[in-house]
Amino acid sequence: MSKWDEIKKRLEHLGGSVDLLADGHKLSLVKLHNKKTIFVRVYVNDLVKFEWTKAEEEKPVHSEGRFWRPMKRAAYKKKAYPSLKRIFGKKEADRAVTPRVIGFVPDFGTEGAAVAHLKKHFPDLEIVEPEQEASE
């Protein structure tokens, strides 16, 4: 079983968690719920600081934001495209309805989404076994 499958398996059930090491940071992934919504939250060094959500030029301002999900939004909805095109022209209208990264959030909708993000950006991360934590 690959480490990616192992991470998904540990996050399969509500309350499931897994600790990881990536780029010198300890990541804790926990499957939580908020009333009817179930999601996976990523804690970096056992913290979630919302100053880490900031983005400049579609990159995280703080290095801890790299582990979180990029949140993309467009300035206008696609529904407004025809009127924007008449007002500003095609080039500007295309730019206005194209989503871009405006911040980073610690929550992923599914364990698969969290694993896909980590797999893409941190292929060499390690799973920290519970007995390793106790001995440190």
Write the pLDDT tens digit of every residue in 35-45: 889 999 999 99
Domain limits for position 42: 3-47+106-135
Top-confidence residue, 134 or 25:
25
Q: What is the pTM of this model?
A: 0.80
Sequence-ordered list of residues with C-beta below 8 angstroms from that of 76, at least 6 positions apart, any chain: 84, 96, 97
In a domain, 42, yes or no: yes
pLDDT tops 70 at residue 132: no
End-to-end, the C-alpha distance of the chain in Å comes to 26
pLDDT tops 90 at residue 93: yes
In a domain, 16, yes or no: yes
In a domain, 32, yes or no: yes
pLDDT tops 90 at residue 135: no
* Cα separation, 70 vs 75, whole angstroms: 16
pLDDT band at 131 (very low <50, low <70, confident <90, very high): low
In a domain, 82, yes or no: no
Question: What local confidence, expressed as pLDDT, does residue 128 receive?
Answer: 85
pLDDT tops 90 at residue 58: no
Average pLDDT estimate for 53-67? 88
Instruction: Count up the domains in the chain and report the number.
Output: 1
